[in-house]
Chain A
Amino acid sequence: MALKEHKTPLLDELEKGEWPSFVTEIKNCASKNEMSNDLLGLLEKSYRERIGFWKHGGIVGVMGYGGGVIGRYTQLPEEYPNIEHFHTMRVNQPSGWLYTSDALRKLCDIWEKHGSGLTNMHGSTGDIVFLGCTTDDLEPTFADLTEAGFDLGGSGSDVRTPSCCIGPARCEWACYDTLAVTYDFTMHYQDELHRPAFPYKWKFKMSGCPNDCVASVARADISIIGTWQDDIRIDQDSVGEYSDNGLDILRDVIMNCPGKCMEWDGKTLEIDNKTCRHCMHCINAMPKALRPGTDTGAVVLIGSKAPIVEGAIISSVLVPFWKPEPPYDDLKDLMDEIIDLWCEEGKARERIGEFIQRVGMGNFLDAIGLEPEPAMVAYPRDNPYVFYEDAEEE
């Protein structure tokens, strides 16, 4: 049967120019898939009338799981019957997003068989996102996914699919094995991932160094960011080469050092490592000459979130230096303390960062049994938390 043709003059504008266009991709799918075709029509109408004709939520999912499927329905099912249901499925991505081409083909085949064929690789959560599934197709899709070795990820008030940067798989700056920690945490928190039982969402994100390629400091409830305790390694010959090749070390590196801890006399680069803020700027500017130290581990931070119910929050330091050693029980025990407290005392739709703001960091640390220390800062060097016991105030 021929597909209904939707005129799309506004969307066509988004195909002009040199860059890739999501409209082109939807059109590719629309030529052979009636869901994608109706999506194109609805999207054009949304652009024309400046209204999103969607509603989401409700009772929708696969048997036994409370996460992984986000119910979506068009408000105009008579006009666009093929997207009356257009649910999103979140599929747990492999750590670091490493695939074989065979695995990618399998995912696409499954999705073309059951859904719109449209994917989002990857969503901001990190998951493989399948866009557009009917309620009836959820279980068959899930069955084919599990057959291929994949599982659904998190959604709703649960542990969201942990995600990480590519870390030591390809990146020389990785200060710990982000892939191993992410895989381990994903397996450890399976129950919490599939069965929502929290006041709101909970995200773990792992970055191998302070470049924080997964932006964990801005959007994860627990950010685990690689760092080092000793000195930045310097290869003075390579520093000289950068200078000889035209890098203005004084202007582009030294002057931009937030710790003001570098000196360059034209021959030798010196770093006062005690005041280094581990921002990675100098290392990024001269990657052949500078490297993180060798005593590596991670900083564990807590409480960031994007602005949804309340405004945005950046993470604060919780554990100034953590040495990740499998099975990571020290950190998991701390997480259990925090999650228990939050489940007990947190309000509905209150992220852990908001909870800490409400009860106060001092009370929070007290309740989870963690001793405050000066390195638990919200911003480097700027505002250490200082706590006074009642007895000391008297």
Chain B
Amino acid sequence: MPSVDEIADGMYKMVQDAQGQKKLKPTGLQKAMMEMYGVDKKTCKLAIRALVDNGRLVYSYFGGSFLELPPDGDK
């Protein structure tokens, strides 16, 4: 079973690939990882938490909450 770090990397790549084209919601990332790797919600939550806590991703709000790469300069 993939580790939290590996799931975090998978999520980060999804956000990176979608940057500028589509905003991704935490639930969408979670669903994708659960389908791709068969991991549970708890692992996904920990992965998101790690990504946000270490500043690789940031939350944004545009009518709903999304996860994005930090703006230039924050990276």
Contacts and interface: CB of A to CB of B under 8 A. Distances in A.
Interface of A: 57-59, 61, 63-67, 70-71, 155-158, 191, 195-200, 340, 343, 348-349
Contacts of B62: 57-58
A273 B65 CA distance: 47
Given A191-B45, A197-B26, A198-B27, A57 B52 contact: no
A156 B27 CA distance: 14
A349 B71 CA distance: 25
A63 B64 CA distance: 19
Contacts of A61: 58-59
Contacts, number: 65
A65 B64 CA distance: 15
A196 B45 contact: no
A67 B41 CA distance: 20
> DSSP majority for the B interface?
mixed
A71 B61 contact: yes
Contacts of B52: 64-66, 195
A29 to B, nearest CB: 26
Contacts of A198: 27
Contacts of B61: 57-58, 70-71, 155-156
Interface residues of B, number: 22
Contacts of B65: 66-67, 156-158, 196-197
Nearest to B68: A59
B13 interface: no
A348 B58 contact: no
B16 to A, nearest CB: 16
B55 interface: yes
Contacts of A64: 49, 52-53
A199 B27 contact: yes
A349 B64 contact: yes
B48 interface: yes
Given A57-B61, A157-B64, 13 more contacts: A57-B60, A58-B62, A59-B58, A59-B59, A61-B58, A156-B59, A157-B65, A195-B49, A196-B65, A197-B30, A197-B48, A199-B27, A199-B64
Contact of A63 (B41, B55, B71): B55
Nearest to B26: A197
A195 B42 CA distance: 13
B27 to A, nearest CB: 5
